[in-house]
Structure 1
């Protein structure tokens, strides 16, 4: 069985649809069918049960899939490693993230990247709220995963990797803490604790000055660090929006996370310098995209 035939079999075992498999591999459905029939003749048993409505693996098909998948991935990793050597993927790659849940994805992707490119050392660190783009611009960071939007001529935006529902961090004794949800309109009723150092369009989206109905949103104190935001909210100085998942990572007895029922989600994506589109960066982007799809 040739490598391309193994690829077709494994793709069909995953898609369970001849048309989608053909589109994915850029071949015709007839070619997919021809390869599977050839394999079945060689093995002497059906690999797939086909009806007009669906395609399912047989017991023999599942056994073959499980046996081939590991070896096929090893081949792909070996090819990627060889390609990396040819492209000069070695040295160091400096990666940052802006939130703990984004960091989880970065760490998992870095494990995949290291397996494929053992000659490249990955350094991971968190990004500072007050200067998220500075390290990308001064060359001390190669790529980072952080909140969007970022619209800068010297920064490349990768695809949106995931999004998170929003929540409002409120003091534990605030009336909002008793609610199941809050509205964006409610922001007119409490000072907003904000951050400094981000682009104005970023702040306008995440820390708006007016509600959708045009009511002014009062400003509370401003800070440069997330832990200081939580301390100010806990001290009753105001409220602050964030991703709802923050409740899992930054719980405190003096604050409560209340979900928004009408706010847009927070989107997260990869960023890198426009002058830094290197083989290392492209390889890491690929690893992140594959990890995020799992």
Structure 2
């Protein structure tokens, strides 16, 4: 198999979707389909099972993926090292993070990564909540560690790494709010509160997965003021100007006397994962994700892309 054939096969094996694979590879969907058909003819067996609703690897396809991926990774790493050496400068991986817990974890991952990749420096940048994925899409960073809703809307231009941590959802409310005295609330209870608004940069993919679509009487969920940073959010909540769903890490890193955190007993968990632009994926980014998975003690690639 040629290098491009291997790349297309492994990308489709990751995505299990011809359209998403085509976006990552920057080719047409028809091109991906034609290449896979050509590979299957050469091997003499189907590598993927295709239906109108899904694409899955066959047993032969899974075995080929598992045996090809390590060798392909070695080739990519060797090419990256050669390019870096030819330029005569050390490569730099720019890593963003959002939130105090993510910052501590990224520092540990960066240390482990540097020990294995002495030719690559890691620079860290804290992103504000309200920036969303803007710095990543603007090319200001290469990868970002973010806490996202487990059932969040997929971003077609992004690849998500391994699920590193799962955290329960809590509803942050004013210590004076009636919910502050309850042992837990339900997902539908959120609609009974005034929920803070997030900036447009993240509301499209964030709020739609965190909030009930409407109140029980059919009216829209009441929205409070907009916030751009975590401290702004907490200040507004403490003043009883709104509520917002947060992750368990807030009980350790953002303790305030005017804010209470109430478990949402029927909400899906948050997931802490690395995100990067699919079109800008490099061997170093994948290596950083593997280092993060090893530090978190989870299998690399443990979540679908």
TM-score when normalising by structure 2: 0.64
Cα shift at 1:247:
1.3
Report the equivalent of 1:113: 113
Report the equivalent of 1:177: 180
After TM superposition, the structure 1 = structure 2 runs for residues 68-87 of structure 1, keeping only pairs within 5 Å, are: 85=81
Contact kept in structure 2, 1:84 and 1:117, CA below 8 Å: no
Distance (Å, rounded) in 2 between the aligned partners of 1:207 and 1:200: 12
Gapped regions of structure 2 (runs ≥ 5): 1-65, 67-76, 299-305
- In terms of mean alpha carbon deviation, does 161-170 or 149-158 score higher? 149-158
Gapped regions of structure 1 (runs ≥ 5): 1-25, 27-80
Corresponding residue to 2:165 among 154, 162, 166: 162
Secondary structure, counterpart of 1:238 in structure 2 = coil
Cα shift at 1:106:
1.5
Cα shift at 1:192:
0.6
Report the equivalent of 1:16: none
Distance (Å, rounded) in 2 between the aligned partners of 1:129 and 1:135: 11
Corresponding residue to 1:246 among 250, 255, 270: 250
Contact kept in structure 1, 2:188 and 2:212, CA below 8 Å: no
Contact kept in structure 2, 1:169 and 1:240, CA below 8 Å: yes
Distance (Å, rounded) in 1 between the aligned partners of 2:258 and 2:208: 27
Q: 1:208 to 1:194 in 2, by over 3 A?
A: farther
Distance (Å, rounded) in 1 between the aligned partners of 2:118 and 2:204: 40
Distance (Å, rounded) in 1 between the aligned partners of 2:251 and 2:104: 16
Contact kept in structure 2, 1:194 and 1:229, CA below 8 Å: no
Distance (Å, rounded) in 2 between the aligned partners of 1:244 and 1:171: 17
Report the equivalent of 1:225: 229
TM-score when normalising by structure 1: 0.66
Q: CA RMSD in A?
A: 2.7
Secondary structure, counterpart of 1:168 in structure 2 = strand
Secondary structure, counterpart of 1:251 in structure 2 = coil
Contact kept in structure 2, 1:169 and 1:257, CA below 8 Å: yes
Distance (Å, rounded) in 1 between the aligned partners of 2:287 and 2:268: 31
Cα shift at 1:100:
2.0
Matched, 1:132 2:135: no
Matched, 1:255 2:255: no
Distance (Å, rounded) in 1 between the aligned partners of 2:121 and 2:138: 20
Report the equivalent of 1:42: none
Cα shift at 1:194:
2.4
Matched, 1:188 2:200: no
Contact kept in structure 2, 1:184 and 1:212, CA below 8 Å: no
Cα shift at 1:211:
5.4
Cα shift at 1:249:
0.3
Contact kept in structure 1, 2:162 and 2:289, CA below 8 Å: no
